[in-house]
């Protein structure tokens, strides 16, 4: 044991008894002790290896232990670990140049922070202050962050415990583009993308809307891939109403969906784009809010009412430059698209064998397996209320069965999120899928019994 290190049981006990754990009841938390990680694998304190089938929290897109990124952190720590946001630094210039080469056209003004939440807080503030309008349109199945403004535009159940306690007014929720559970009960393409058209009417009637915020592919809440017309139509509608479009690419950015950014899959140019996670491969915490020059210009002679001590922190910026080079060197964006096609085809095969699988969907190396109690009624096993009440979730039991086989996969409400590092090998993909195939027996056993045979 290295000097100063606790034995594993002490580590677990100390963390469990002295730390908060996020988004759950605090009781009953018994964390695995993770000690090491390389490529698509991490190890616990007993030497057990786990295939990381969800890139931790859909974040370690480059895999673990990328030498170029680690080196960039070390070099920057030696040269200049910190400078106040009012200074220019070489790392800041290098990253700004690198971003211009990968972000969608027209997004060329940058504000740096240290999380996706903060990236969205900045975007929402910029949109509201720039337009002088208070309202934001968001969607029900969405997550945009944990702090006041970003949780207020979050549609999912995580908003409920703090609603009215630490939220800000002004959010209007629009329906989702979720064909498996169409909020209008319609079917594509005869629906004429009613979920997008609804926004036209919503903006017409609401007034005072500064921006609409969307995850191009809804992430945690089910990897909801929109139909091809949806985002381009939202762009037309928002433009027609002079409403800004914010693309929240915290999860969909950095090759995850087989393009640098989700909006690239549909050629859509938002007014603001937020991202974090994969921007550094999650090795250091960096958030980015990118805007058009037109928005930036509005603050040329007007006070910009935002900032953090850690804005443009050099230690967060230098590894992002290295990460962007690594995405390019390893051609990970194209690989994600190729492997994603394979992943989705394999998931469809697996789904056909399991009565508990209601739907599978995905784009690039980003996929979900949605579990249902009953395929006909499409009733999910669990929902947000179950999560808030701390009830055991069927999807979590499936994930636990995978973990026993050495595969880590994020379970959320009634689905599993499959999002391995973009460097994952075909063998690893197959191994994870085989573990999933076997683990789905747990959900199959919980499926509602069919009508008795005559």
Ligand X SMILES: Cc1ncc(COP(=O)(O)O)c(C=O)c1O
- CB of 106 vs ligand X, minimal distance in Å: 21
Task: Specify the DSSP element, H or E, that contains 273.
Answer: strand 272-275
Judge whether 283 and 69 are in contact, CB under 8 Å.
yes
- CB of 445 vs ligand X, minimal distance in Å: 31
Query: C-alpha angle 114/118/122, rounded to 5°?
Result: 125
DSSP 64: B
Confirm or reject binding of residue 288 to ligand X (CB under 6 A).
no
- Helix segments in 88-193, DSSP class H: 90-100, 116-131, 148-152
- CB of 121 vs ligand X, minimal distance in Å: 9
Q: Which stretch binds ligand X (CB under 6 A): 246-254, 290-298, 318-326, 378-386?
A: 246-254
**CB closer to ligand X out of 221 and 336:** 221
Q: Which stretch binds ligand X (CB under 6 A): 12-20, 73-81, 111-119, 180-188?
A: 111-119
Task: Specify the DSSP element, H or E, that contains 411.
Answer: strand 410-412
- CB of 261 vs ligand X, minimal distance in Å: 12
Confirm or reject binding of residue 145 to ligand X (CB under 6 A).
yes
Q: Which stretch binds ligand X (CB under 6 A): 109-117, 318-326, 340-348, 399-407?
A: 109-117
Q: Which stretch binds ligand X (CB under 6 A): 164-172, 247-255, 374-382, 421-429?
A: 247-255
Neighbours of 438 (CB within 10 A): 15
**CB closer to ligand X out of 215 and 370:** 215
Task: Specify the DSSP element, H or E, that contains 441.
Answer: helix 426-445
Confirm or reject binding of residue 115 to ligand X (CB under 6 A).
yes
Neighbours of 389 (CB within 10 A): 8
**CB closer to ligand X out of 263 and 351:** 263
**CB closer to ligand X out of 215 and 271:** 215
Q: Which residues are registered as beta bridge partners of 418?
A: 367
**CB closer to ligand X out of 104 and 145:** 145
Build a one-symbol-per-residue string for 299-338: x at contacts with ligand X by CB under 6 A, - elsewhere: ----------------------------------------
Confirm or reject binding of residue 219 to ligand X (CB under 6 A).
yes
From 61, 89, 171, 220, residue interacting with ligand X (rule: CB under 6 A): 220
Q: Which stretch binds ligand X (CB under 6 A): 105-113, 244-252, 298-306, 349-357?
A: 244-252
From 121, 215, 264, 339, residue interacting with ligand X (rule: CB under 6 A): 215
Confirm or reject binding of residue 116 to ligand X (CB under 6 A).
yes
**CB closer to ligand X out of 40 and 120:** 120
Let me know if 235 is exposed, middle or buried by CB neighbors in 10 A (0-12, 13-18, 19+): buried
- CB of 52 vs ligand X, minimal distance in Å: 16
378 Rama sector, left if φ>0, alpha if ψ -120 to 50, beta otherwise: left
Confirm or reject binding of residue 144 to ligand X (CB under 6 A).
yes
Build a one-symbol-per-residue string for 23-62: x at contacts with ligand X by CB under 6 A, - elsewhere: ----------------------------------------
**What is d(CA 435, CA 418) in angstroms, rounded to the nearest whole number?**
12
- The count of residues in the chain is 454
Task: Specify the DSSP element, H or E, that contains 17.
Answer: helix 8-18
User: Torsions phi, psi of 328, nearest 5?
Assistant: -70, -50
Residues 250-269 that bind ligand X (CB under 6 A): 250-251
Q: Which stretch binds ligand X (CB under 6 A): 9-17, 39-47, 61-69, 248-256?
A: 248-256
Q: Terminal CA-to-CA distance of the chain, rounded, Å? A: 65
**CB closer to ligand X out of 66 and 221:** 221
**What is d(CA 27, CA 13) in angstroms, rounded to the nearest whole number?**
13
Judge whether 248 and 274 are in contact, CB under 8 Å.
yes
Q: Which stretch binds ligand X (CB under 6 A): 110-118, 128-136, 238-246, 341-349?
A: 110-118
Closest CA to 262 of 333, 171, 212, 199: 333
Neighbours of 346 (CB within 10 A): 19
Q: Which stretch binds ligand X (CB under 6 A): 140-148, 163-171, 323-331, 408-416?
A: 140-148
**CB closer to ligand X out of 117 and 316:** 117
Q: CA 398: distance to chain centroid?
A: 21
Judge whether 283 and 70 are in contact, CB under 8 Å.
yes
Confirm or reject binding of residue 143 to ligand X (CB under 6 A).
yes
Token representation of residue 384: 């947000």
Confirm or reject binding of residue 276 to ligand X (CB under 6 A).
yes
Confirm or reject binding of residue 248 to ligand X (CB under 6 A).
yes
Neighbours of 406 (CB within 10 A): 14
From 60, 117, 152, 291, residue interacting with ligand X (rule: CB under 6 A): 117
**What is d(CA 166, CA 148) in angstroms, rounded to the nearest whole number?**
6
**Sites of contact with ligand X (CB under 6 A):** 115-117, 120, 143-145, 215, 219-220, 248, 250-251, 276
């Amino acid at each position: 044991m290295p000097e100063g290190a606790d034995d594993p049981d002490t580590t677990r006990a100390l963390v469990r008894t002295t730390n908060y754990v996020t988004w759950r009841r605090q009781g009953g938390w018994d964390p695995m002790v993770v000690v090491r990680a390389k490529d698509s694998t991490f190890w616990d304190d007993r030497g057990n290896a786990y295939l990381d089938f969800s890139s931790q929290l859909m974040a370690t897109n480059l895999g673990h232990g990328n030498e170029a990124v680690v080196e960039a952190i070390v070099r920057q720590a030696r040269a200049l670990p910190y400078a106040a946001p009012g200074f220019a630094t070489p790392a800041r210039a290098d990253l700004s140049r690198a971003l211009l080469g990968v972000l969608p056209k027209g997004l060329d003004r940058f504000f740096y922070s240290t999380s996706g939440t903060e990236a969205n807080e900045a975007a929402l503030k910029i949109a509201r202050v720039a337009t002088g309008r208070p309202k934001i349109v968001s969607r029900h199945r969405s997550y945009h962050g944990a702090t006041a403004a970003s949780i207020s535009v979050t549609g999912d159940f995580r908003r409920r415990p703090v609603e009215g306690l630490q939220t800000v007014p002004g959010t209007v929720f629009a329906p989702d583009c979720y064909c498996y559970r169409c909020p209008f009960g319609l079917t594509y393409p005869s629906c004429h993308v009613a979920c997008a058209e609804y926004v036209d009417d919503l903006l017409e009637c609401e007034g005072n809307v500064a921006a609409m915020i969307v995850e191009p592919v809804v992430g945690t809440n089910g990897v909801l891939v929109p139909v091809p017309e949806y985002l381009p139509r939202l762009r037309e509608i928002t433009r027609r109403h002079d409403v800004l479009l914010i693309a929240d690419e915290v999860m969909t950015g950095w090759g995850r969906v087989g393009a640098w950014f989700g909006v690239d899959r549909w050629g859509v140019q938002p007014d603001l784009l937020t991202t974090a996670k994969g921007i550094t491969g999650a090795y250091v915490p960096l958030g980015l809010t990118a805007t058009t020059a037109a928005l930036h210009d509005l603050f040329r002679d007007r006070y910009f009412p935002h900032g953090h001590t850690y804005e443009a922190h050099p230690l967060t910026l230098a590894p992002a430059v290295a990460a962007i080079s690594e995405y390019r060197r390893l051609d990970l964006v194209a690989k994600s698209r190729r492997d994603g096609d394979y992943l989705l085809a394999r998931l469809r095969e697996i789904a056909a064998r399991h009565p508990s699988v209601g739907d599978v969907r995905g784009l690039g190396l980003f996929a979900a397996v949605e579990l249902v109690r009953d395929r006909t009624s499409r009733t999910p096993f669990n929902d947000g209320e179950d999560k808030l009440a701390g009830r055991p979730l069927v999807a979590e039991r499936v994930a636990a069965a995978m973990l026993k086989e050495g595969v880590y996969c994020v379970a959320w409400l009634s689905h599993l999120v499959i999002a391995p590092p973009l460097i994952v090998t075909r063998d690893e993909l197959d191994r994870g899928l085989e573990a999933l195939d076997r683990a789905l027996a747990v959900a199959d056993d919980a499926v509602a019994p069919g009508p008795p045979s005559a």
